[in-house]
Amino acid sequence: MSDQLLDTAATAPARVTLLASLVIPARNEAGNMAPLIADIERMAKGFGALEVIVVSDGSTDGTDAELARLMATRPWLRGLRHDRSCGQSAAIRTGARAAGSGVIVTLDGDGQNDPAFIPALVRALIDGGPAVGLAQGQRVGRKDTVSKRYQSKIANAVRRAVLRDDTRDTGCGLKAIRRELYLALPYFDALHRFMPALVRREGYEVRLVDVLDRPRFTGQSNYGIWDRMWVGMLDLAGVWWLIRRRRPSPVVTEVPGHAG
């Protein structure tokens, strides 16, 4: 971000209109914090006023200390901490509740989501007008292991068949969503994997944006797939039920009072 933006954010935050709030769930990502924040700084030059909220989800590896070090010279960077690991969806929800912008952008804390695609996501959301509630990233050139790509392919195929959400890859961490809409969605663990279907359930459109995947900067994945397979099937059944039980929202108007 530019020095001008940093100075403005530091001296007069009430006068800054934030274009978006970036929410980053991070569990034991100490080695990935500095390069990811550096990438965000490069992306944000000339883009608009942003805040970055990193939610340390019960980290035990020094993520909190590294985050504090980075925050010392970056007034636009905020850090929140869970006293224990509650999962990725919980960390995103914590960040969204604390956000100061009407637009939430999520990305993973491991560096696989390239911040360079954030402007395209935000533009897709804003340019779509009030009818568009979510801009969902879809990864191309996946850099995960063969087994993880295979698992993800199966999970996405089953989800599409059941929910008919017309989205190839809901597991991509890069998303831009209207904050008010996000906080109105029914909350449960793994909510972040079903957002396109739930956003459409609320009557909003979803825009899809292809994004390039890249390898983790360092470390290992903290949120597995096989260990959540059966829970994921229950989540899928629950989302299917929610969609089936949705009823049209009424149009609400004020009843005129008595004249005089």
User: pTM value?
Assistant: 0.80
The CATH number covering residue 27 comes to 3.90.550.10
Q: Which pLDDT score, from 0 to 100, does residue 133 have?
A: 97
In a domain, 194, yes or no: yes
In a domain, 25, yes or no: yes
| Cβ-proximal residues to 188 (8 Å cutoff; 6+ apart), any chain | 89, 235, 238
Task: Report the distance separating Cα 202 and Cα 207, nearest Å.
Answer: 15
Q: For the chain, how far is it from start to end, CA to CA, in angstroms?
A: 57
Task: Report the distance separating Cα 158 and Cα 134, nearest Å.
Answer: 22
**SS3 (DSSP) at 54:** strand
Per-residue pLDDT of the chain (260 residues; tens, 9 = 90+): 444 343 334 333 445 689 999 999 999 999 999 999 999 999 998 888 999 999 999 999 999 999 999 999 999 999 999 999 999 999 999 999 999 999 999 999 999 999 999 999 999 999 999 999 999 999 887 655 555 555 666 666 666 666 667 777 788 999 999 999 999 999 988 888 888 989 998 999 999 999 998 888 787 766 555 445 545 667 777 777 777 777 666 778 889 887 65
In a domain, 249, yes or no: no
In a domain, 78, yes or no: yes
CA-only gyration radius of the chain, Å: 19
Q: Which pLDDT score, from 0 to 100, does residue 9 have?
A: 41
What domain count does the chain have?
1
Q: What is the DSSP string of 116-166?
A: GGHHHHHHHHHHT-TTEEEEEEEEES--S-HHHHHHHHHHHHHHHHHH---
Structural domain span for residue 39? 3-244
Q: Which of 107, 106, 103 is nearest to 123 (CA)?
A: 103
